[in-house]
């Protein structure tokens, strides 16, 4: 039996998070959702997901801070991280890529595009 | 003669009236909270029933009418509230399917009936969704709404028309916006930037004869936003003759954004402009469009009376003059009590350039 890949994602927009969960679970992934950046790094350490997806703009703790924490922890640093951000915040993307994110997706997005990107990244590893 | 009794009577009446008023207000707040709480619960209930059904619809080829037909008209408003986030966050096939829920179903006449209503709240909400769904059927009514006396109705209708890319409406939007003195340039720019670059050609034709400085300034900002190169010559003529600071600044920003080197000579004449903001903007543009021939004029501006101009003079020199680093460094550290030299030292240290 093929083992299901696990994706941990942090997204504060409730309905969008539900849509992503619905879509990716249908594609056969295990999904773990965090409604903000709080606790995400601990979650990554605990669940060791195959991929992490972070919204950059989140209250309390933003995606870039979480990314920095993940990349500075050797036990989880090699887990690929994708960033999600609004078109108007493209400047954060460069910073995110410098911090070690593997890819980024701009909002608005097509849900199929997210699925494809995730599959491609996981295939490459 | 006023007696103590009269005064006490008056005070008692006043206190009684205030108590009644407070009571009415409290009742009103409680009722509003109850209604709001009820609506929120209804909305949650709606989402729990229909949320996944809508996700399934999004990735299927199911006809939108099949889904909308089974949702009661009274629940449409919950559905629309639920869809709002998706309209803003999704694109491509997802957005097409979402738009289909409005454009190909009873939701469209429902929203159009709201658009025709007298309630600004209903009109604004309807305009918002019809615009996001790019409902062509609503164009004519939205255009009529541009003439509304209510500023929020005007703004929501203009935004919807922009999302519909209704190029014919642009001048109606400009004309009607003038009726509301408090509508800012930024609000209008937010609306116009929702259009595609199809608006550039008609705007360019209008620019050639336009007299209103605000419209000229907005038009030039939009050309910069759309990187519309074809307006270079027209804007150059406007900048040379304009007395309006905003128009001149927007023109300079435009030339810099599209690398319009033909404007460099005209910019040379603006380097001593009486307005400091213009001088600073010229220097910023010269960092992109200038060359060695500007060196002495830019050096002169290091002794400008305004800090922003001095600062930009140093940064521009560093950018366009290949050997300026050493020269500026010598100047900066050789004149310790000079204000221009102090600013030069600051710029050098920002760039980690040591003496």
CB B216 within 8 A of CB B210: yes
Q: What is the mean pLDDT of residues A83-93?
A: 82
Tell me the per-residue pLDDT of B218-232, one tens digit each, with 9 for 90 and over.
999 999 999 999 999
pLDDT confidence of residue A2: 63
* Residues in chain A closer than 8 A to B90 (CB atoms): 108-111
Cross-chain residue pair B91–A23, CB shorter than 8 Å: no
pLDDT confidence of residue A89: 75
pLDDT confidence of residue B1: 59
Binned at pLDDT 50, 70 and 90, residue B68 comes out as very high
Percent of chain B with pLDDT over 90: 79
pLDDT confidence of residue B324: 85
pLDDT confidence of residue B153: 97
CB A68 within 8 A of CB A95: no
pLDDT confidence of residue B317: 93
pLDDT confidence of residue A124: 84
How far does the CA of residue B267 sit from the closest CA of chain A (Å)? 30
pLDDT confidence of residue B354: 64
The C-alpha atoms of residue B64 and residue B62 are separated, in whole angstroms, by 6
pLDDT confidence of residue B292: 85
Binned at pLDDT 50, 70 and 90, residue A40 comes out as very high
Q: Which of B88, B89, B93 shows the shortest C-beta gap to A112?
A: B93
Binned at pLDDT 50, 70 and 90, residue B18 comes out as very high
Tokens of A121: 């990244």
Tokens of B179: 């009726």
The C-alpha atoms of residue B252 and residue B230 are separated, in whole angstroms, by 15
Cross-chain residue pair B59–A15, CB shorter than 8 Å: no
Binned at pLDDT 50, 70 and 90, residue B103 comes out as very high
DSSP H or E segment with residue B189? helix B185-192
Alpha helices, H only, A1-125: 14-26, 40-47, 63-71, 91-99, 111-124
Handedness of CA A56, A57, A59, A60 (dihedral sign): positive
Residue of A67, A44, A71, A42 lying closest to A55 (CA atoms): A67
The C-alpha atoms of residue B105 and residue A113 are separated, in whole angstroms, by 27
Which residue matches tokens 């959702």? A33
Which residue matches tokens 């922890």? A73
Binned at pLDDT 50, 70 and 90, residue A39 comes out as very high
The C-alpha atoms of residue B78 and residue A15 are separated, in whole angstroms, by 14
Q: Is the model more confident about B337 or about B274?
A: B274
* Residues in chain A closer than 8 A to B58 (CB atoms): 19, 111
Whether chain A has a CB inside 8 Å of the CB on B48: the answer is: no
DSSP H or E segment with residue B22? helix B4-58
How far does the CA of residue B83 sit from the closest CA of chain A (Å)? 9
Residues linked to residue A32 through DSSP beta bridges, in sequence order: A8
pLDDT of B5 > 70? The answer is no
How far does the CA of residue A15 sit from the closest CA of chain B (Å)? 7
pLDDT confidence of residue B43: 86
User: Which of B57, B90, B97, B189 to mutate: most A Cβ within 10 Å?
Assistant: B90
The C-alpha atoms of residue B51 and residue B66 are separated, in whole angstroms, by 16
> What's the distance, CA B233 to chain centroid?
26
Cross-chain residue pair B59–A107, CB shorter than 8 Å: no
pLDDT of B275 > 60? The answer is yes
Tell me the per-residue pLDDT of B280-330, one tens digit each, with 9 for 90 and over.
999 999 999 988 888 999 999 999 999 999 999 999 999 998 888 888 988
ipTM: 0.89
Q: What is the mean pLDDT of chain B?
A: 93
pLDDT confidence of residue B313: 95
CA distances from B123 to B14, B148, B271, B286 (A): 41, 11, 49, 48
How many C-beta atoms surround the C-beta of residue B18 within 10 A?
10
pLDDT of A1 > 60? The answer is no
Cross-chain residue pair B85–A13, CB shorter than 8 Å: yes
The C-alpha atoms of residue A107 and residue A105 are separated, in whole angstroms, by 7
pLDDT of B2 > 70? The answer is no
Residues linked to residue A33 through DSSP beta bridges, in sequence order: A9
Long-range contacts formed by A119-123: CB under 8 A, 24+ apart: A119/A27, A121/A51, A121/A80, A121/A82, A122/A5, A122/A50, A122/A51, A122/A80
pTM over 0.90: no
């Amino acid at each position: 039996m093929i083992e299901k890949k696990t994706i941990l994602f942090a997204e504060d927009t409730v309905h969008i998070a539900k849509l992503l969960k619905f879509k990716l679970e249908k594609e056969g992934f295990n999904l773990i959702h965090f409604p903000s950046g709080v606790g995400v790094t601990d979650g990554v350490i605990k669940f060791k997901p195959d991929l992490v997806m972070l919204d950059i703009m989140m209250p309390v703790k933003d995606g870039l801070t979480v990314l920095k924490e993940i990349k500075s922890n050797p036990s989880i640093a090699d887990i690929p991280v994708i960033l999600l951000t609004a078109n108007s915040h493209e400047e954060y993307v460069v910073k995110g890529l410098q911090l070690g994110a593997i890819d980024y997706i701009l909002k608005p997005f097509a849900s199929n595009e997210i699925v494809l990107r995730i599959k491609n990244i996981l295939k490459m590893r | 003669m006023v007696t103590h009794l009269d005064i006490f009577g008056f005070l008692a009446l006043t206190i009684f009236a205030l108590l009644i008023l407070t009571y009415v207000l409290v009742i009103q707040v409680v009722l509003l909270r109850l209604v709001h709480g009820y609506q929120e619960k209804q909305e949650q209930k709606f989402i729990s029933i229909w949320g996944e059904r809508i996700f399934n619809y999004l990735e299927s080829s199911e006809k939108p009418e099949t889904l909308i037909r089974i949702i009661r008209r009274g629940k449409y408003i919950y559905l629309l509230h639920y869809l709002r986030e998706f309209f803003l966050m999704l694109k491509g096939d997802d957005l097409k399917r979402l738009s289909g829920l409005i454009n190909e179903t009873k939701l469209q006449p429902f929203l159009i009936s709201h658009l025709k209503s007298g309630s600004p709240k209903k009109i604004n909400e309807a305009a918002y969704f019809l615009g996001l769904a790019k409902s062509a059927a609503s164009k004519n009514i939205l255009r009529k709404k541009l003439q509304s006396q209510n500023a929020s109705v005007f703004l929501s209708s203009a935004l919807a028309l922009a999302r519909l890319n209704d190029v014919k409406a642009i001048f109606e939007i400009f004309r009607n916006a003038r009726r509301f003195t408090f509508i800012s340039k930024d609000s209008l720019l937010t609306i116009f930037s929702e259009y595609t670059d199809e608006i550039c050609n008609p705007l360019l034709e209008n620019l050639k004869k336009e007299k209103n400085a605000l419209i000229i300034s907005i038009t030039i900002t939009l050309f910069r936003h759309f990187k519309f190169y074809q307006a270079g010559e027209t804007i150059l003529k406007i900048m040379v003759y304009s007395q309006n600071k905003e128009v001149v600044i927007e023109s300079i920003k435009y030339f810099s954004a599209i690398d319009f080197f033909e404007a460099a000579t005209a910019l040379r004449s603006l380097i001593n402009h009486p307005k400091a903001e213009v001088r600073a903007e010229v220097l910023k543009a010269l960092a992109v469009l200038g060359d060695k021939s500007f060196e002495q004029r830019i050096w002169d501006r290091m002794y400008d009376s305004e800090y922003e101009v001095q600062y930009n003079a140093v940064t521009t020199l560093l950018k366009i003059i290949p050997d300026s680093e050493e020269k500026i460094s010598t100047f900066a550290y050789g004149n310790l009590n000079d204000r221009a030299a102090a600013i030069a030292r600051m710029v050098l240290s920002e760039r980690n350039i040591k003496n």
